[in-house]
């Protein structure tokens, strides 16, 4: 997936002002949660229930 120059500029600006840190934290939390759920599924052989 390629990002155009304006999107990249906006992302860089967000990181420079500190606003990008929240995005990184949220993304890291989401990745960790997915890894935990995948490990659980592998260990117990069943997927977690979703209430969404």
Quickly tell me which residue has 């500190």 as its tokens: 18
pLDDT digits (tens, 9 = 90+) for 11-21: 788 778 877 77
Q: How far is CA 51 from CA 2, 23, 47, 48, in A?
A: 34, 24, 13, 10
User: Which pTM does this prediction carry?
Assistant: 0.53
pLDDT digits (tens, 9 = 90+) for 1-52: 455 788 778 878 877 887 777 777 877 888 889 899 888 888 888 666 666 6
């Amino acid at each position: 997936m390629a990002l155009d120059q304006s999107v990249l500029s906006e992302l860089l600006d967000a990181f420079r002002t500190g606003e990008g840190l929240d995005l990184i934290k949220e993304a890291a939390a989401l990745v960790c949660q997915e890894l935990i759920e995948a490990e659980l599924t592998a260990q117990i052989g069943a997927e977690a229930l979703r209430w969404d």
